[in-house]
Amino acid sequence: MTTSPNSRYHKQMLFSGIGAAGQQRLRDSSVLLVGCGALGCVVADALTRAGVGRIRIVDRDFVELSNLQRQMLFDEQDVAEHLPKAIAAERRLKRINSDVIIEPIVADADCTNLPRLAHGVSLMLDGTDNFEIRYLLNDLSLETGTPWIYTGCTGSHGQVMPVLPGRTACLRCLLPSPPPPGSVETCDTAGVLGPAVSVAAALEAALALKILAGHAHEIGCQLTILDVWTGAMRQVETTALKAAGTCPACSHGERLWLSGTQRAASTVLCGRNAVQITPPEPLQKTLPELALRLQNSGHVTLNKFLLRLQLHGPEKHSDLRETDVELTIFPDGRAIIRGTSDPAVARSLYSRYIGG
């Protein structure tokens, strides 16, 4: 590939780690980004500007006003239009670089669809806020040999670790099982700073470019830990964890999350006072049909991506007192119930208004 001083990627190709050959590799690459919240927005923006050929964005959520503090791809118009994050991200990214193919998928990544969504990609990237999907990505990575990058951020802290199957430690080498509820800080308890997200995601994006440009062999077996409030950053060697040979996943082939053995039907959404409900069967009605059925239950808004039901005051669930309750339903029947962090209450509301 040749480039003129005025071409889009000229400055990037001057960098010795990329060059013309690396830029062509980026163009020929495809990535799966699971989650397009704060981390995912930064990563998607960076890889789109860098010229990665195809970016498949999977996200289950929609844009809300509270996202705008740190989710750089979205604006107030996206909030007003009740857009799913994957759709809003695609609109923005296509305006940034029309040469990159953006594939927005409004879905909840799980063991039933992630193998298909990841088929043929060069790299899988973590833009999520929950460990269940991260362990699923880890299982799929080990099963297929596709590298992935674990990234997390809470408060002013971030963590980043590349997983190169067969060479580096995997997530279960580091954490054999998910942290028990309440044992670690979340964005509900510690909040999250936009700059912390940006730094952690920038490291993830840089590692992604390094892998995609053909330099995966230069990546070490390390976990990077940062704190933007204190300015501290350190790297923890994980070579010994890999060498121990005791990991149930990468040493002994256990795939609890990919097999569906470890799976939740409801998920408390970090920092949202909301619960996601995933039904075992798909929705039997179209969204317009459901909107007609729910029109007397509250204020209903509808677009081609989702239906939103804002409950009337007298209809509010007794357990929620005066809290505003809002149900957002997607075409496959998945719903996000805002106004409670109690899965039992959320399931009750789902059954009451949607059925099942």
E strand segments, the chain: 30-34, 54-59, 101-106, 123-126, 148-154, 157-163, 222-227, 232-237, 266-269, 274-277, 298-302, 307-311, 326-329, 335-338
- Return d(Cα 215, Cα 115) in angstroms, integer: 25
Q: Scanning the structure block, which residue is given the tokens 């959520």?
A: 61
Based on the residue annotation, tell me whether 187 is a catalytic residue of this protein: yes
Close Cβ partners of 274 (under 8 Å, ≥ 6 residues apart): 268, 336, 337, 338, 339, 340, 341
- Return d(Cα 203, Cα 198) in angstroms, integer: 9
Asked whether 192 and 155 are in contact (CB, 8 A), the reply is yes
Q: What strand order describes the sheet that includes 148-154?
A: 101-106, 54-59, 30-34, 123-126, 148-154, 157-163, 222-227, 232-237
The one catalytic residue among 153, 173, 187, 247? 187
Structure tokens at 8: 């889009």
Asked whether 53 and 27 are in contact (CB, 8 A), the reply is yes
* C-alpha triplet 278, 281, 282: angle, nearest 5°: 85
Asked whether 309 and 326 are in contact (CB, 8 A), the reply is yes
| Angle between helix 194-212 and 38-50 (nearest 10) | 40
Tell me how crowded residue 3 is: count the other CB atoms within 10 A of its CB.
15
DSSP-assigned beta bridge partners for residue 276 = 267, 336
Tell me the residue length of the chain. 356
- Which positions are catalytic? 187
